[in-house]
């Protein structure tokens, strides 16, 4: 991907309100997991609504390289699994592209398969820390050889008779939790993960859906998760809801552009993912969930949103896990809100697809907004219409690119981005969908 030419774009305030009814692509977290669990199950899993973004396609390619049969059937995807411990050695390096979730979860699977494999990724992923999964996964008996600083490329020699892991997460990370649970599938005995703050529980939900025994109990402010090893995972159909992290972009655009009125149908509303919606409501957003339903074990609803004059907000650090991917676009909303906002406890943003704390601050500054970083907090001095007019460096980060294009819908002067190509990792069709709503996005 990094060899492709950059695709610059410009976004400017549209002359008419944004309006329409849309659906966003499938949830990225659930899509990765559906392919991985399907590949480890016995039988055929049908996935409806899989996100066909670059990140998820990397997971599909990796699971194929490890022996699963994965095909597209109309709009659905079919996965014929190999059973727990049944994956086979890959013939080549596994390239996880831009996807931290794919790399970290797969490290868990490979830790307890008795063969050796090599994993790499693009320039962004090769900068991201893998020590957070390598350290706990070593306790299974697997041997890891990473590049300096625990970065990819990474060689994994999986354990023969894997031991179950007991681990308390030092950071709130659903990826680390999931990597350990995936390793635990092929270890005898009980794998135990304690998380200090609850993080997205798609792995726990889907493991149960595929027939594994997972027990979740409260542990202080967080949770203790116990998985019984070597279950027979049985293929199970998965319906993927719309990704709330993707819905965030048209949603904030609808709030910012005067007179706008949008409906976003079929959005996943897992309570561990909805921090942004709560926060926007605190900012005064006209935001309503209608037709709330349970679909494939996950909460789903239709989001109705209308333009609202927003006010500043103070977001507590404890809310971060429930909206970790939404801070760049929340920061855009804060830049266009009356008053000074404080977003607290954002250390984890430093190790995303880019250093998202620094890059988000730089994006707002490029649009003439006063921003400070104090420790791990982001302080944003909002105004009803920031100046805009700047160029945003997106650092191979899809969410920065989309946030900057949303920002440009509200600023006085257009905002430009250096490269839109990474948007396809999570939200293929984003620009076309935004244009359909009336957004003004063009090649500069």
Which residues are catalytically annotated?
325
Q: Which of 201, 244, 207, 241 is nearest to 224 (CA)?
A: 201
Virtual torsion, Cα 252, 351, 271, 211, nearest 10 deg: 130
33 in a known ligand binding site: yes
User: Residues 45, 175, 246, 270: which binds ligand S3P (CB under 6 A)?
Assistant: 175
- Please identify, using beta-carbon distances, which residue of 29 and 403 lies nearer to ligand S3P: 29
User: Whole-number minimum distance, CB 412 to ligand S3P, in Å?
Assistant: 32
Q: Which stretch binds ligand S3P (CB under 6 A): 118-126, 167-175, 266-274, 372-380?
A: 167-175
Instruction: Select 11 or 174, whichever has its Cβ closest to ligand S3P.
Output: 174
Per the annotation, does 127 bind a ligand?
A: no
Contacts of 148 by beta carbon, 8 Å cutoff, 6+ apart: none
Rounded to a whole number of angstroms, the CA Rg of the chain reads 21
Which helix or strand (DSSP H or E) is residue 112 part of? none
138 annotated as ligand-binding: no
Binding mask 111-130 for ligand S3P (x = CB under 6 A): --------------------
Q: How far is CA 224 from CA 48, 210, 260, 377, 438, in A?
A: 31, 20, 43, 28, 46
Q: Report how far residue 238's alpha carbon sits from residue 224's, in angstroms, rounded to the nearest whole number.
A: 25
* Residues 57 and 96 sit within 8 Å (Cβ to Cβ): no
| Of the candidate residues 31, 178, 260, 409, the single one contacting ligand S3P (CB under 6 A) | 178
Question: What is d(CA 99, CA 111) in angstroms, rounded to the nearest whole number?
Answer: 18
Q: Is 31 exposed, middle or buried (0-12, 13-18, 19+ CB in 10 A)?
A: buried
The structure tokens listed for 212 are: 């594994």
Q: Is residue 101 close enough to count as binding ligand S3P by CB under 6 A? A: yes
C-alpha distance from residue 271 to each of 264, 315, 321, 383 (Å) = 18, 17, 11, 31
Q: Does 425 bind ligand S3P (CB under 6 A)?
A: no
Q: Pick the stretch among 172-180, 284-292, 359-367, 430-438 that binds ligand S3P (CB under 6 A).
A: 172-180
Q: Of the ranges 174-182, 261-269, 311-319, 377-385, which one interacts with ligand S3P (CB under 6 A)?
A: 174-182
341 binding ligand S3P? (CB under 6 A):
no
Of 175 and 260, CB closest to ligand S3P: 175
Asked if 29 interacts with ligand S3P (CB under 6 A), we say: yes
Q: Is 324 in the site for ligand S3P (CB under 6 A)?
A: yes
Among 11, 35, 174, 431, binds ligand S3P (CB under 6 A): 174
175 a known binding residue? yes
CA distance 151 to 317: 27
Task: For the CB of residue 105, give the shortest distance to ligand S3P in the complex, in Å.
Answer: 7
Helical H runs in 197-264? Answer: 202-209, 244-256
Cα–Cα distances in angstroms (integers) from residue 48 to residues 59, 77, 143, 241, 266, in the given order: 16, 7, 36, 9, 13
Q: CB 190 → ligand S3P: shortest distance, Å? A: 22
| Size of residue set near ligand S3P by CB under 6 A | 10
Interface residue with ligand S3P, options 12, 58, 113, 200 (CB under 6 A): 200
Say if CB 123 and CB 2 are below 8 A apart. yes
Residue ranges for the binding site?
28-29, 33, 100, 128, 173, 175, 325, 352, 356, 399
Annotated binding-site residues for phosphoenolpyruvate read 28, 100, 128, 175, 356, 399
For binding to ligand S3P (CB under 6 A), which residues are involved?
A: 29, 101, 173-175, 178, 200, 324-325, 348
């Amino acid at each position: 991907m990094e060899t492709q030419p950059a695709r610059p774009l410009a976004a400017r305030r549209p002359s008419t309100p944004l309006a329409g009814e849309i659906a966003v692509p499938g949830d990225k977290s659930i899509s990765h997991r559906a392919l991985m669990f399907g590949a480890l199950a016995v039988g055929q899993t049908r996935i409806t609504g899989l996100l066909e973004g670059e990140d998820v396609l990397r997971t599909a390619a990796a699971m194929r390289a490890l022996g699963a049969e994965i095909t597209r059937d109309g709009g659905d995807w079919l996965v014929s699994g190999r059973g727990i411990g049944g994956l086979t050695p890959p013939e080549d390096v596994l390239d996880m592209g831009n996807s931290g979730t794919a790399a970290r979860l797969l490290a868990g699977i490979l830790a307890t398969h008795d063969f050796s494999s090599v994993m790499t990724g693009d320039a962004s992923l090769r900068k991201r820390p893998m020590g957070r999964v390598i350290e706990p996964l070593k306790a299974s008996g697997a041997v890891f050889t990473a590049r300096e600083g625990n970065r990819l490329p990474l060689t994994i020699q999986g354990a023969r008779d894997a031991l179950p892991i007991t681990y308390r997460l030092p950071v709130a990370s659903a990826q680390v939790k999931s990597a350990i649970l995936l390793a635990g599938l092929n270890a005898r005995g009980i794998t135990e993960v304690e998380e200090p703050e609850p993080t997205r529980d798609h792995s726990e939900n889907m493991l149960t859906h595929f027939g594994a025994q997972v027990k979740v109990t409260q542990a202080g402010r967080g949770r203790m998760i116990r998985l019984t090893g070597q279950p027979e995972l049985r293929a199970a159909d998965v319906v993927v809801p719309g990704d709330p992290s993707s819905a965030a972009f048209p949603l904030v655009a609808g709030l910012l552009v005067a007179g706008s009125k949008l409906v976003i149908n079929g959005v996943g509303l897992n309570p561990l993912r909805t921090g942004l919606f709560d926060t926007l409501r605190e900012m005064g957003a006209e935001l309503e969930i209608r037709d709330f339903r349970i679909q494939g074990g996950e909460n789903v609803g239709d989001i109705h949103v209308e333009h609202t004059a927003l006010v500043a907000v103070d977001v507590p650090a404890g809310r971060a896990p429930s909206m970790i991917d939404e801070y760049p676009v929340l920061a855009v909303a804060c830049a266009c809100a009356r008053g000074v906002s404080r977003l607290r406890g954002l250390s984890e943003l430093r190790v995303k697809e880019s250093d998202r704390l620094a890059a988000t601050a730089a994006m707002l500054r490029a649009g003439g907004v006063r921003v400070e970083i104090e420790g791990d907090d982001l302080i944003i001095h909002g105004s009803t219409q920031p100046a805009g007019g700047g160029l945003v460096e997106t650092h191979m980060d899809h969410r920065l690119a989309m946030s900057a294009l949303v920002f440009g819908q509200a600023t006085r002067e257009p905002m430009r981005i250096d490269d839109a190509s990474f948007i396809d990792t999570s939200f293929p069709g984003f620009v076309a969908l935004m244009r359909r709503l009336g957004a003004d996005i063009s090649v500069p």
